[in-house]
Amino acid sequence: MLGAHRTGRESRVASHESIFATRDPRPATRDPRARPRERGFSIVTAIFLIVVLAALGVFIVSVSGLQQSSSQLDVQGVRAYQAARAGIEWGAYQVLDPDNALGSALANCPASPTHLTGLGGSLSALTVTVTCMPFDATEGNRNIRVFQITATGCNSPGAGPPASCPGAPATGYVERQIHATLTKCKDPTAAAPRFACGG
**pLDDT band per the 50, 70, 90 thresholds, residue 7:** low
**pLDDT band per the 50, 70, 90 thresholds, residue 171:** confident
Please indicate whether residue 127 or residue 36 has the higher confidence score (pLDDT): 127
Question: How many Å apart are CA 66 and CA 119, to the nearest integer?
Answer: 29
Query: pTM of this prediction?
Result: 0.64
Q: How far is CA 101 from CA 105, 135, 191, 193, 197, in A?
A: 9, 21, 14, 8, 16
Question: How many Å apart are CA 117 and CA 164, to the nearest integer?
Answer: 9
pLDDT at 19 exceeding the cut of 60: no
Kindly state the average pLDDT of the residues 5-18. 51
**pLDDT band per the 50, 70, 90 thresholds, residue 27:** low
Nearest one of 151, 164, 161, 81 to 110, comparing CA atoms: 151
**pLDDT band per the 50, 70, 90 thresholds, residue 30:** low
The distance between the two most distant Cα atoms of the chain, rounded to a whole number of Å, is 159
> What residue segments make up the domains of the chain, in order of their start?
65-186
- Per-residue pLDDT, 136: 92
Kindly state the average pLDDT of the residues 58-85. 86
pLDDT at 186 exceeding the cut of 80: yes
**pLDDT band per the 50, 70, 90 thresholds, residue 178:** very high
Given a contact cutoff of 8 angstroms between Cβ atoms, the answer to whether 153 and 175 are in contact is yes
- Give the HSE-up count for residue 6: Cα atoms under 13 Å, Cβ half-sphere: 3
Answer positive or negative: Cα dihedral of 183, 187, 188, 190. negative
Question: How many Å apart are CA 117 and CA 160, to the nearest integer?
Answer: 12
Kindly state the average pLDDT of the residues 171-179. 89
Nearest one of 168, 165, 156, 174 to 77, comparing CA atoms: 174
**pLDDT band per the 50, 70, 90 thresholds, residue 182:** very high
**pLDDT band per the 50, 70, 90 thresholds, residue 80:** very high
pLDDT at 1 exceeding the cut of 50: no
For the stretch 94-114, pLDDT in tens is: 998 888 788 888 888 988 888
Question: How many Å apart are CA 65 and CA 94, to the nearest integer?
Answer: 44
- Per-residue pLDDT, 67: 76
